[in-house]
Chain A
């Protein structure tokens, strides 16, 4: 069945910030490395280094333990944390797979963004910092 995003669950370092996100993109891509040699008619490419990230737009909230408390602290630290996205909030399954970066880092954070009269939103990117990249999970964790 075609998917309409209505109830995506986004968890950052354990905190469910789903009700503040308005968009989300999970990416796992490889650099295209040209491998064309003499004698070829067509160019050919091989996969190079991979890049994994989860990015999105979040509505700002300065309440205790909400958006700013969570993201500013993660931006200030060097250690990694987990980010997980589930298409439909609830139990992960083969038809509702979770996408997780187990070792993510926040390379930057803009706590305030917007113009007069705007709802304050900010674009955020969680970058992979481990070896696993984006993991696709179809079995719920313990």
Chain B
């Protein structure tokens, strides 16, 4: 299950532009929708932030 935000000017899967929603999109549909700018992943940022934190921690250890 992923969390997404609708971008652009068209509704996506019944959700209005700007709205956040959770859905279990198949990999292909998610890839296509993100590539054309219909949606963006909302939890991607937090995942990236966690990566950055982990990277920082590793660097500090070094």
Alpha-carbon separation in the docked complex, A16 to B32 (Å): 15
Residues of B within 8 A of A (CB): 7-14, 25, 28-29, 32-33, 35-38
Q: Which residues of A contact B25 (CB under 8 A)?
A: 14
User: Contact between A79 and B28 (Cβ–Cβ < 8 Å)?
Assistant: yes
Knowing A79-B28, A81-B29 are in contact, say whether A15-B10 is a contact too (CB < 8 A).
yes
Residues of A within 8 A of B (CB): 11, 13-17, 63-66, 69-70, 73-74, 77, 79, 81
24 contacts between A and B (CB under 8 A): A13-B33, A14-B12, A14-B25, A14-B29, A14-B38, A15-B12, A15-B38, A16-B11, A16-B12, A63-B9, A64-B7, A64-B36, A64-B37, A65-B9, A65-B37, A66-B9, A66-B10, A69-B37, A70-B36, A70-B38, A73-B36, A79-B28, A81-B28, A81-B32
Partner of A65, one of B14, B28, B38: B38
Q: A15-B10, A16-B12 are in contact. List 8 more A-B contacts (CB 8 A).
A: A14-B12, A14-B33, A15-B11, A64-B8, A64-B37, A65-B38, A69-B37, A81-B28
Alpha-carbon separation in the docked complex, A57 to B8 (Å): 22
